Structure 1
Amino acid sequence: MELLLQFFNTLFELSNEMAPYILFGLIFAGLLHELVPDTIVKNHLGQNSLLSTIKAAVFGIPLPVCSCGVIPLAAGLKKSGASNGSVLSFLISTPITGVDSILATYGMFGWAFTIYRVVTSLIISIIAGIIANFYTKKEIAQSVEEEHTSCCSGSSCCSSSSHEKKFSIKGVFKYAFVTLLGDIASPLFVGLLLGALITVAIPQNLSEILLEYSWLSYIIVILIAVPMYVCATASLPIAAGLMLAGVSPGAAFVFLSAGPATNTVTIGVVKEMLGKTTLYIYLGTIVVGSVLFGFVLDYVMSGVDIKEMIHLHEEAGIVAIASSIVLWGFVLYFVFGNINKKFKVFS
């Protein structure tokens, strides 16, 4: 009973922490959909090229969006015609960095560590995008051909795309909370439940375990960081705490890199939106890249002198709780609404 209460309490806290960013991402994606023509996305991010992948990665670096807030933005890019590689590159680079995270990293670790974090996230995201474009090239080409054939089967070839898009507030919210949220509701629901379960399962004495098994610290950090939800800024005090406890800077860096870039929610959405192949590329590139750059950091730096650790733990405010209620309302509506529809079909 105690574990069950702890699970629901963790789920509540996790929802409060994530919901405002997810809702912000949905609204931002809706605004982009209304303001930015799909042709611009297709022209700049729709090609299976290195330049498109780099553009997506660079575009994502300054955005102050977490690994869950980036989901609706990435979904919007995909719907607008961006390639798998561009979407994946954006998905990885955006949550690891961000203006707020960059400034916080500088305040805690200095410019050298900050630049290293930004550059490595850029490299990892670009490599992931290149690999994704290479392995999904045939799938994308087939999809584009089918869409072209379908679109041009009528009397006019894709005539609907030539109409100029008019901005509409109603269109923003319809696209955000009906189209996008409807697409990601199921993996979001499962991801939140798994995220809470994993958070409860993580031992409280993490730093002691990492010190006791220092030779396994990289693997342990990866196993914890990949499914766990932690935003780029919130990961900083955790990493600083690990370093102060004696964990190597490289292992702490792995947490800073893999933690914000992945979580159970994003993993589920990537699988549904981009397919299994891209999901494996997404996870594999982040894991290998984070560990590799962690080793490099340990080799270059004998240690990191942290004089002050920043750790803020604030109670959820009204905005966070209200956002959580709104998000869960939509998610439950889409999830159980779809289940009821499927049940009626088979009954």
Structure 2
Amino acid sequence: MSSEYLLYLMDAGVQSVQNYLALHVLLCLIPAFFLAGAIASLFSKESVLKYFGSDAPGYVSYTVAAVSGCLLAVCSCTVLPLFAGIYKRGAGIGPASTFLFSAPAINILAIVYTAKILGYDLGAARAVIAILLSIVVGISMAFIFERKQQEIKKGIKTFGDDEHKKSAYLFILLLAILITPEIISNGRFLGVIMFALILITAHFSNKWFTKEELKEWMGETWFLIKQITPLLLVGVFFAGIIVEILPKEYVVEFVGGNTLSSNFIAAISAALMYFSTLTEVPIISALTILGMGKGPSLAMLLAGPALSLPNMIVISRIMGAKKASVYISLIVIISTISGFAYGMYIA
């Protein structure tokens, strides 16, 4: 391997990091970190466990986890601080895994964009199958790893009704900051709206919470940034190199039909690549023009937004290598089977 080619690959990795930072950090990842920090510090553990804990009714926890991602325009990396905040507050591995898969896979913008570009049949299939599969993944993770833990009363902060309402209002404001850039495309109007939302959030945060609570929030946010960001940047760097090394013409050749192997190649290729929010749609659209099958397209739409190299590195740190390996394997296998079944259905 020549030094010129190595320099080319290094430049590709650097470009990948630069593109990631330009597209995500200011308008998407930073609000996600603050939202995750708020979840971890200002929301009581009981309020999280009410919907996501292992003792919560399954039909409630998995339903909430599966559909809560619909409003979040997040990718496989941006969802990580949100997942870390939920998981750290005691959410069961099952519902937490369901949320981790569903949030990037079924956000409203991605579903609408998929239907518009790739066809309404594929858009509808992505939405319905992603919701169902997120629950299957969560139940599988719970069956394999869930262990009932004794409730620890000591040190758990509880809120009264007012505190719950304030936390809910803060969550709505932070969520608005997170999704507004995906809704408004006009740069000047977006700047005005974002500035107003940030001022309103800062005002009510100071009004609703004590200095100690705000300090805890900022501390938790900074902890998540330190834990996740370096791993994300390293993963994005190597993902950029992998995209350059992977011969595109071979990928198109291998995923042109609808076999288990073609769907598996599509799923595993998507899992190794990094798709920022919505970018998977034009990439898959280009591949379909070159002859990619409908089944492999769905397999990529399911596995790509849910997994990426940086995503896999970080979730290994958050939930441990063993749980992460099972989660990743489940996503790839289920995406493969779903893509194959869909391709057979429409044939």
TM-score calculated relative to the size of structure 2:
0.74
By how many angstroms is 1:202 displaced?
1.3
Distance 2:100 2:241 in 1: 24
1:196 is matched with which residue? 240
User: 1:314-325 to 2 correspondence within 5 Å?
Assistant: none
Deviations 1:84-110 (A, max 9, x none): 111111110111121221221121134
Tell me, what secondary structure is at the counterpart of 1:65? coil
- Is 1:270 the counterpart of 2:322 in the alignment? no
Match of 2:96 among 66, 80, 87: 87
1:288 is matched with which residue? 333
Distance 2:268 2:255 in 1: 16
**Judging changes above 3 Å, is the alpha-carbon distance between structure 1 residues 282 and 198 closer, same or farther for their aligned structure 2 residues?**
same
By how many angstroms is 1:80 displaced?
1.6
1:246 is matched with which residue? 291
- Is 1:65 the counterpart of 2:74 in the alignment? yes
Any gaps of 5 or more consecutive residues in structure 1? Answer: 303-347
By how many angstroms is 1:36 displaced?
3.6
By how many angstroms is 1:160 displaced?
4.7
Distance 1:220 1:277 in 2: 23
**Judging changes above 3 Å, is the alpha-carbon distance between structure 1 residues 219 and 102 closer, same or farther for their aligned structure 2 residues?**
closer
Q: What number of residue pairs does the alignment pair up?
A: 289
Tell me, what secondary structure is at the counterpart of 2:68? helix
Tell me, what secondary structure is at the counterpart of 1:47? coil
**Judging changes above 3 Å, is the alpha-carbon distance between structure 1 residues 237 and 86 closer, same or farther for their aligned structure 2 residues?**
same
Match of 1:113 among 96, 117, 122: 122
8 A Cα contact 1:267 1:279, kept in partner: yes
Identity %: 26
1:23 is matched with which residue? 30
TM-score calculated relative to the size of structure 1:
0.74
Aligned AA for 2:246?
A: I
Distance 2:305 2:92 in 1: 23
1:210 is matched with which residue? 254
Deviations 1:248-299 (A, max 9, x none): 1101111111111101111122222112332233112211211111112211
- Is 1:125 the counterpart of 2:170 in the alignment? no
Any gaps of 5 or more consecutive residues in structure 2? Answer: 168-207
By how many angstroms is 1:193 displaced?
3.7
By how many angstroms is 1:185 displaced?
4.3
Range with greater deviation from structure 2 (14-23 or 102-111): 14-23
- Is 1:50 the counterpart of 2:58 in the alignment? yes
**Judging changes above 3 Å, is the alpha-carbon distance between structure 1 residues 237 and 80 closer, same or farther for their aligned structure 2 residues?**
same
Deviations 1:35-60 (A, max 9, x none): 54332111110125532122111111
By how many angstroms is 1:232 displaced?
4.8
**Judging changes above 3 Å, is the alpha-carbon distance between structure 1 residues 247 and 231 closer, same or farther for their aligned structure 2 residues?**
same
By how many angstroms is 1:246 displaced?
1.6
8 A Cα contact 1:188 1:265, kept in partner: yes
8 A Cα contact 2:84 2:318, kept in partner: yes
8 A Cα contact 1:131 1:281, kept in partner: no
CA RMSD of aligned residues (A): 2.7
Aligned AA for 2:8?
A: Q
1:181 is matched with which residue? 225
By how many angstroms is 1:162 displaced?
5.8
Distance 1:252 1:159 in 2: 46
1:39 is matched with which residue? 46
